[in-house]
Every structure is written in structure tokens, then in C-alpha cells.
Amino acid sequence: MTPAELIHTGRITDEARRSAALALLAATYEQEKRWIAEPHSQFPAARLGRPDISWYWVFMAGEPVGVLRTVYDPPLLQYAKYDPTILDARLDIQSFLERNRIAEVGRFAVLAAHRRNLLLAVALMRVAMEDILDRGYTPHHHRRIRGRCLQSLGLPHPGHRLRTGGDPQAW
């Protein structure tokens, strides 16, 4: 079997997969990175099956190794409190927001032992993007680079703490 044939993805729709996701969030966001204190706060049981939030899983050789969350129509005004400086005057954020349906991709977690396997990240993004595009949304992905949160509109994500230094592979 090739490595790609060992990778399986899907949407989290039941309590068993949510529990696996919580274990992954605990290992990455709580224990390793220390970004959260309580993994259950990231994915309460009440969020299973909600149409505005999707969680996805990736398994490698039958073991859960990663999760990703998508929020549809996120409250984008929350970003305004950061008072961002728009570096390109040609960028009309208000117009962009009026013309596009936004889906925010976040809570992307892959266990440290599997992070060098880029196929896992690609598989998670693929399953999420298929769902996002099927719903007619514009993906709005944020990521960490050199300790700063960057997003497609240049706005920081309010749910992430900024981090400096450390291993870039862990971001």
C-alpha cells in the first residue's frame, strides 16, 4: 500500500470522532503548544451537526492524526477590534465582504509526529475545500508564519495568540 492509500478523511458527525478530535486538540493545542486550557471548549458536543461549523478528520493507517475546523459566515466584524492597517489601498475589504460568502478555515491540528507528512495537511485541506466550494463559499484561510497570524485579507485571527521564535515546523 502506498502512503496516500493509508490516508483517509471525512467530516466529523458523531461523538466517537468528536472524542478523537478532542484528544488531538489536547495533544497539540493544550499539551504541546499551550494555546488552550480546555480542549472541550474548542469543540463542544452541541456543535456536532450545526450547519455553520464543520470539523474534519484525517486518519493515517487507521489512527487519528489530524483535525481541521471550518466556520461558515464567521462574525468578521470581530477583526475590526485589531484596528488593522491596510497596506494596499486598492484592497476594498467592504466590497470584498459584500460580494463573497466567507468560510474561515482554522483549528488545523496535526500530531507532531506526523507533521512532516504533507499529504496529511493536503488531505485535510482537500476535504474542507470540497465542502466549502460545494456550498458556494470563498475560503478564508489563516496561518502562522514567523510568529504572526496572516490571513488572505491581512487581518489577524482573534482566536490565536501570537507566537515568536520556536520551531517553524510546529506552526
**Long-range own/partner contacts, residues 133-139 (CB < 8 A, 24 or more apart):** 135/72, 135/101, 135/103, 136/101, 137/72, 137/100, 137/101, 137/102, 137/103, 138/100, 138/101, 138/102, 138/103, 139/103, 139/105
Q: Worst-scoring range by mean pLDDT, 33-47, 91-105, 138-152?
A: 138-152
* Nearest alpha-carbon partner for 97 in 68, 75, 125, 66: 75
Global pTM exceeds 0.75? no
The domain defined by 3-71+102-142 folds into: Aminopeptidase (3.40.630)
Each residue's pLDDT tens digit, 51-78: 999 999 999 998 999 999 999 988 877 7
Q: Worst-scoring range by mean pLDDT, 4-13, 48-57, 65-74, 81-90?
A: 81-90
Tell me the pLDDT band of 148, cut-offs 50, 70 and 90: very low
| Segment holding 127, helix H or strand E | helix 118-134
Any idea where the domains of the chain sit in the sequence?
Answer: 3-71+102-142
